[in-house]
Structure 1
Amino acid sequence: MVHSYLKKSAMLLSLAAAVAVAEEVQADQATNPQSTAGQETVSPALPQAEMPETPDPLLQAPAEAAQGQDNGGLAIEEKAPEATVLSNPIQEEPVKPPVEGQRVDMRILATTDLHTNLVNYDYYQDMQVETLGLAKTAVLMEEAIAENSNVVIVDSGDTIQGTPLGTYKAIVDPVKEGEEHPMFAAFKELNYDGAALGNHEFNYGLDYLRRVVASSKVPLLNANVLDAQTKEHLFTPYVIVPKTFKDSEGQLVTVQVGLTGIVPPQIMNWDRGHLEGKVIALDAVQAVTDLVPQMRKAGADVVVVMSHSGIGDDTYLVGEENIGYQLAGIPGVDAVATGHSHANFPSGTGTGFYSKIKGVDDTNGKINGIPVTMAGKYGDHLGIMDLKLHYTNGAWQVEESGAVLRKIDTKSSKADERVLNLAKEVHEATIRYVRQEVGQTPSPIHSYFSLVQDDPSVQIVNQAQLWYAKQVLAGTEEANLPLLSAAAPFKAGARNDPNSYTDIKAGPLAIKNVADLYVYDNVVALLKINGAQLKEWLEMAAGQFNQVDPTKKEPQNMINTSFRTYNFDVIDGVTYELDITQPNKYSIGAELVNPTASRVRNLRYQGKEVTDDQIFMVVTNNYRASGPFPGVKDAQESRLLNLQNRQALIDYIVSEKTIDARPNHNWSFADTIKDLDLRFLTSLKAQEHLASNPAISFVGISDTVEGFGEFRYQYSPLPEPEQPVQPEQPTKPEQPSQPTNPASPNQPVTSVQPLTPTKPNRSLDGQESQVLANQPSRASKVQESSLLAVQSSSSKGTLPNTGTKDSIWMSFGLALLALLPAGLGKRKQK
């Protein structure tokens, strides 16, 4: 009785609160107010774009129209849009107009590339960590605000994808209309003034992104993505935020801060399936150059660019990916918060990666005289830019500026309670999701040596892709063609991160382990190529290695650390050797640099030499299929399938129950490196696996990269390569049957859900070559299941205990759920 009464009371209170919120939202529609007292937002009036379907509130753009295109960029007519200004809240102290000679110390706090690392938790290892998370960065924010409260807080993008939490809110329990994404809810809680859209914001498609942007209480900005039909901005290009600061005398004064953001135009390659025909991406430098005068005309005293683009260098090509350097040279731009490259700037010592570029002050954090930051990744750093403003000749001028990076405290467990409490529900739901068991492995699976020898973490992905593709091709005319699979080591210490490795112990395999093996939300793709194209594909992948001197007896570094490990494709189904005493045929950017060079030797299929005209089917992912890889871009046929690569891996493990991921040694180095002293760096944790890898020995702790060790690779002939695991071909064409739960064979496993494609069998030929960058991805719509939409407690508190007791009770609960009728409580698919 009491319980019923309390429940009804709570419902009434919730209804009242909902009405109040609805009235507030209606009153503040299309304004995006900030929560900081004394602050108001000015944004361009955005007329509704003409769309072929139901109007979307996100598809709004300023009145300027595109006036033509040049080398991929559109010139936008300089026409200042009308502005909407919020009413100024009542101040405890009067805010006076600026006067001649007045001075203000302004501080910009910048984050970037958070990739849904909302709290300090590693979902792959299922444990709390102190090396990442917005909850840790927020501690630095509070310290910086205590030093100077005149702050503007911004983020440079790649926010909603990157961990199982991002996958959970996009695929398992997707953000619904009006629901605020937890990352942007945290931004609001921390009083962010604006955020840019990064390339990974587009991974889940435009419909999902529209929902996320529409519900965000923080302005999400982009200046260089336009609607393909109307040529108007697809998202809000800029806002002007009136900030109430204290001047040097303690008097309140308003400074109008203009914010805008950009994304690399390469999104048209990376998420082509989602974007082609729907949007166009301008050259980012041109877009900002055209927009800044409009922002100044609309009243911006200070202009800050949130650049989801790396710093690059002092050479500029229209349409290139990393242009932070050029943005810092645009007249009217006062500060640039960069990102995308997961790097750090400034170093503060003058010895950082960008320090040798002309115009870069790596000590004081300035490029072309403008303060610039790049705050690492996953919340591990906070960028701080300080601007000393002087009101002179009727305008605010930047008299002095500089920037620093601050690293989170990795030795302390201190984290921001506001973020932890806000994240509690989705965090707990994500943990329950990733702990769902799908199979067993009798041996460890790790990626510590994945760059120097055939590797279990890549082997298992290739096995799963072959298993799935066999079923897809059964009964088709391609079923009798040789089937190959391409996969790469996604976690192999990229960007000097000793924790960026797959490390799975022998025993149960859960979804968290599968996510650790396949960290991107890619979709399976099938290519038809010939033997000549296959060889060029492998020549490109061989760029992972430096050219070594066969006559040199001194130690030589064998790994090209500038080459992204996710581009080191290992192709199973054939055998081959790599001769790294030869030069690379292709550059990191897939450009032909040594036409006569060849590293690939003894390329064979079933023991016979591969001929140039031999036809193969190769299963890979949408990122590779739509990219500029030699051989791949010239494929005779290319189509997307109806499943994420990660889901194919889950289905394979569930089907096999116990999987054998031992490498089959289908690739190796040629004997030209025999007796050479070859070295490489990997995590110090790799020492635990030396006993089972006799070709590798430990040299010592690296004195250049923290957390890494130096290891020696000693060439020795490998045993005859084993043929890769390839399941028998089904006798008739059919869709892959839904795997069953090993614990209850008559019931489907709750974690396995087939994904349906947004555009099946889509041709990806004719893709223009672009420089490869951070691994993009693509997600598809998923059929929702009430068994996966785990209900979570909404009560606030600290991060949950994630020990074995929770797992036991969760397993018991899942076993009970598995007994429910398969169709019980299924949600209507949207």
Structure 2
Amino acid sequence: MKIKLLPLAILCGSSALFAGCSDSDKKPAKQVEVPKEQGVTEGTKIAVRLLETTDLHANLLNFNYFADKQDDKVGLVKTAALIRQARDEAANSLLVDNGDLIQGSPLGDYMAKVKNLADGEVHPVYAAMNTLNYDVANIGNHEFNFGLEFLNEAIDDANFPYISANVFKYDGDADASNDEPLFAPYVIQEKEFKDTNGKVHTIKVGFIGFVPPQIMQWDKANLEGKAIAKDIVEMANLYVPKMKKEGADLIVAIPHSGLEVSAKKPMAENASYYLSEVEGIDAIMFGHSHANFPSASFEGFTEHGVNVEKGTINGVAAVMPGFWGNHLGVIDLTLEYKAGSWQVSDSQSSLQPIYTTDENRVTTATVENDAQVESAVIQAHQETRDWVNAPFAKITSPVNSYFALVNDDPSIQIVTDAQTWYTQKIVKGTELDGLPILSAGAPFRAGRGGADDYTSIAIGDIAYRNVADLYIYPNVLKVLKLNGSQVKEWLEMSAGQFMQIDTNNTDVQMLINPDFPSYNFDVLDGVTYQVDVTQPARYNAKGEKVSDGQRIVALKYQGQAVSAEQQFLVATNNYRASGGGNFPAITADKIVVDSPDENRQVVADYITYQSSKNNGQGLNPAADMNWSFAPVANVQIHFTSANTDDAKAYSEQFSHILPTSKINEAGFAIYQLDLTQPQ
């Protein structure tokens, strides 16, 4: 299987104009000034509907492989029905996908890690998408998780072009002028649109895509020496004028990048706001942060030029349709011919959900399954289901993540124990042998995807779907060498998960910081410590130091206080070890074990080993309770978790976790945390 690092040929037909296309696919074609359409009446209007999917993460059917049951809150099979409806309602429409497509569900893992793709075999993602006639797709950061060879083998059967304007081939020199794009930076397509009077016009639509430059950290093992990434806005300023010169009447930016209004900085991960300031961009269809735009959650951005009623950013139409196919993004544009060119004169952005929830929190699908998508992927779906349900070991106590954000937790413990076990083996007999080993783990499923997004594994047989449930990312294990001061700062960053608790406030105070991703709440096993939530957070969710607060207290190794100079090995994953999450002092130069093995496979191997070691009786993954909160008296602290009988029953094991009768508007149960009680 040959690696195709620059798949431009599919873009070089009569329907696509791109300056990088030529007979050799290497030398840029001569740029020609394209004359504007003649004879269009001033004031002519065209209504164009832009449709977007993003962050599907290989969720093709309305199915939860972890729970092995139907789930009408996810799936392209539902979004597809909305796409067809939206097209039927519009005279002119365009459909884009914004990446994070081939990774994220067990089906994605099965295709990449078990079945693989033979040359010419169509990935089920593209078997489904090819039924929907996408116009273009953008590369997301998770597209690189399985390596460039698999990525190129997957996308070469897409019946639509791929773009990414800020990723280039690595050529080993410092001369930016000769850098070659890894993918086509943009594509310009000729579309025949009807105006409001029924007359047909040829409109040149340009699409340009972007990916977070942090891919070079997050997927260093797959990209180092093969690719480089550049600043999103810088590349927009480079290419958008070229697109205009090549005749683009309408330019749609497709950044796999979220919306932040903080001060502009180079190589920003979430740069969609500053793309709205790039002259020539007419619409922004963004993603990456698994959020909904327009929505009330962005009302606080009004003073920065964000209009959540119309769905605009600095006047530019924009949309971000959630994740896992739960919404279709829609931008309705009005193009008007004025002063010799087509201009956007009005817009309205909206989100179409695949399900609704009533006052009793009962979910109802808004559409039936799309028959074409379902038919295209049903075989791969069944193969995936068979694979993930095959048992390979046993556990002797339940594993869940219901209280992973407020309590030492078995779903993290089993991961950190596995990483410690692996590290002990791999450093034995080396110069690292004998150094204390710590292990970092975070709750990947702790409500980020909704009130049902929790791990829950019963006693007994364990299958691969359970391991994928525990560790949802295809990360690779890495080991860092750190001193005690750096270990403490790691934990201080992690403690940003909590809001500061005011001991003088008698009102209810929520504990969990909603802006802090749960996958950045690292627990470090191998040491013991407490978290004092009455202190201010030392770091914010972006890793910026915001106070001199000292939340981590009583940090000890084997009963002795950890000193600033003490040396440790810390097992983690490639994302964190390469700077993911912006943890202080955690950088790739501190990696001392560059393991080739996936964390998830390490967990599976550990469970197998411990289960067989115990005469087949199984592994006990109970948490060792190595961390807790420092006592706090006379306050009311609340947090949320799953609204299930299992969660409430599990809470009975802990005197400090108390169910309440309250349920919030998102369907989460509200619990009280009593920090005067032993933990």
Taking structure 2 as the reference length, the TM-score comes to 0.90
Provide the secondary structure at the position in 2 that maps to 1:692.
coil
Pairwise CA distance, 1:493: 1.1
Superposition pairs of residues 510-549 of structure 1, within 5 angstroms: 510-549=463-502
Pairwise CA distance, 1:33: 9.3
Q: 1:624 to 1:351 in 2, by over 3 A?
A: closer
1:741 aligns to what?
none
Q: 1:354 to 1:135 in 2, by over 3 A?
A: farther
Show CA shifts across 1:136-158 (max 9, x none): 11111111112113100011111
Q: 1:537 to 1:125 in 2, by over 3 A?
A: same
Provide the secondary structure at the position in 2 that maps to 1:411.
strand
Q: 1:123 to 1:214 in 2, by over 3 A?
A: same
1:683 aligns to what?
642
1:773 aligns to what?
none
- Does the alignment pair 1:106 with 2:52? no
- Does the alignment pair 1:445 with 2:404? no
- Does the alignment pair 1:374 with 2:320? yes
Determine if contact 1:81/1:294 at 8 Å carries over to the other structure.
Answer: no
Counterpart code for 1:377:
F
Pairwise CA distance, 1:479: 2.5
Provide the secondary structure at the position in 2 that maps to 1:494.
coil
- Alignment equivalent of 1:211, drawn from 153, 162, 167: 153
2:225 aligns to what?
277
Q: 1:283 to 1:635 in 2, by over 3 A?
A: closer
Deviates more, 1:660-669 or 1:612-621: 612-621
- Does the alignment pair 1:123 with 2:71? no
Show CA shifts across 1:456-492 (max 9, x none): 1101111111222222122223222222211111111
- Alignment equivalent of 1:663, drawn from 611, 618, 623: 623
1:736 aligns to what?
none
Q: 1:310 to 1:40 in 2, by over 3 A?
A: same
Pairwise CA distance, 1:512: 0.3
**How far apart, CA to CA, are the structure 2 residues paired with 1:242 and 1:691?**
63
2:166 aligns to what?
224
- Alignment equivalent of 2:17, drawn from 27, 31, 42: 42
Determine if contact 2:655/2:677 at 8 Å carries over to the other structure.
Answer: no
Determine if contact 2:129/2:373 at 8 Å carries over to the other structure.
Answer: no
Q: 1:47 to 1:373 in 2, by over 3 A?
A: same
2:338 aligns to what?
392
Show CA shifts across 1:351-400 (max 9, x none): 64554342111011111111100000010011111111223343222221
Counterpart code for 2:642:
S
The number of residue pairs the alignment matches comes to: 647
1:30 aligns to what?
9
**How far apart, CA to CA, are the structure 2 residues paired with 1:588 and 1:191?**
39
Show CA shifts across 1:186-221 (max 9, x none): 222101100110111111222222223333221110
**How far apart, CA to CA, are the structure 1 residues paired with 2:569 and 2:23?**
46
Q: 1:247 to 1:635 in 2, by over 3 A?
A: closer
Superposition pairs of residues 193-342 of structure 1, within 5 angstroms: 193-229=135-171, 230-313=178-261, 315-342=263-290
Provide the secondary structure at the position in 2 that maps to 1:701.
strand
**How far apart, CA to CA, are the structure 1 residues paired with 2:375 and 2:299?**
38
- Does the alignment pair 1:714 with 2:674? yes
- Alignment equivalent of 1:63, drawn from 4, 8, 28: 28
Counterpart code for 1:342:
H
Counterpart code for 1:250:
G
Q: 1:670 to 1:227 in 2, by over 3 A?
A: same
Determine if contact 1:45/1:82 at 8 Å carries over to the other structure.
Answer: no
Determine if contact 1:238/1:261 at 8 Å carries over to the other structure.
Answer: yes
Pairwise CA distance, 1:571: 1.0
- Does the alignment pair 1:611 with 2:563? yes
Pairwise CA distance, 1:556: 1.3
2:543 aligns to what?
590
**How far apart, CA to CA, are the structure 2 residues paired with 1:599 and 1:272?**
32
**How far apart, CA to CA, are the structure 2 residues paired with 1:187 and 1:355?**
34
Identity %: 42
Tell me the C-alpha RMSD between the 2 structures. Answer: 2.4
Pairwise CA distance, 1:637: 4.6
Show CA shifts across 1:712-740 (max 9, x none): 00125547xxxxxxxxxxxxxxxxxxxxx
Taking structure 1 as the reference length, the TM-score comes to 0.74
**How far apart, CA to CA, are the structure 1 residues paired with 2:507 and 2:330?**
44
2:528 aligns to what?
575
Q: 1:194 to 1:593 in 2, by over 3 A?
A: same
1:722 aligns to what?
none
**How far apart, CA to CA, are the structure 2 residues paired with 1:563 and 1:375?**
21
- Alignment equivalent of 1:405, drawn from 324, 345, 351: 351
**How far apart, CA to CA, are the structure 2 residues paired with 1:408 and 1:62?**
45
Structure whose CA Rg is larger = 1
Determine if contact 2:12/2:22 at 8 Å carries over to the other structure.
Answer: no
Determine if contact 1:457/1:489 at 8 Å carries over to the other structure.
Answer: yes
Q: 1:479 to 1:259 in 2, by over 3 A?
A: same
- Alignment equivalent of 2:113, drawn from 168, 171, 177: 171
1:782 aligns to what?
none
Counterpart code for 1:662:
A
Provide the secondary structure at the position in 2 that maps to 1:707.
coil
Counterpart code for 1:481:
L
Provide the secondary structure at the position in 2 that maps to 1:401.
strand
Pairwise CA distance, 1:507: 2.1
Counterpart code for 1:30:
A
Show CA shifts across 1:236-270 (max 9, x none): 11111222222222233322211110011111221
Gaps of 5+ in 2: 1-6, 172-177, 356-362, 612-617
Q: 1:356 to 1:506 in 2, by over 3 A?
A: farther
- Does the alignment pair 1:432 with 2:386? yes
**How far apart, CA to CA, are the structure 1 residues paired with 2:328 and 2:569?**
46
- Alignment equivalent of 2:605, drawn from 640, 646, 651: 651
2:506 aligns to what?
553
Determine if contact 2:401/2:456 at 8 Å carries over to the other structure.
Answer: yes
Determine if contact 2:511/2:637 at 8 Å carries over to the other structure.
Answer: yes
Counterpart code for 1:271:
D
Provide the secondary structure at the position in 2 that maps to 1:382.
strand
Determine if contact 1:103/1:248 at 8 Å carries over to the other structure.
Answer: yes
Determine if contact 2:656/2:677 at 8 Å carries over to the other structure.
Answer: no
1:697 aligns to what?
658
Gaps of 5+ in 1: 1-27, 50-59, 65-78, 84-94, 720-830
**How far apart, CA to CA, are the structure 2 residues paired with 1:424 and 1:715?**
50
Determine if contact 1:674/1:716 at 8 Å carries over to the other structure.
Answer: yes
Pairwise CA distance, 1:111: 1.1
Show CA shifts across 1:250-293 (max 9, x none): 23332221111001111122112222332221211121122112
Deviates more, 1:242-251 or 1:554-563: 242-251
Counterpart code for 1:560:
N
Provide the secondary structure at the position in 1 that maps to 2:377.
helix
Show CA shifts across 1:408-451 (max 9, x none): 13513711111111111211111111112121222221111001
Counterpart code for 2:674:
Q
Provide the secondary structure at the position in 2 that maps to 1:215.
coil
**How far apart, CA to CA, are the structure 2 residues paired with 1:463 and 1:115?**
28
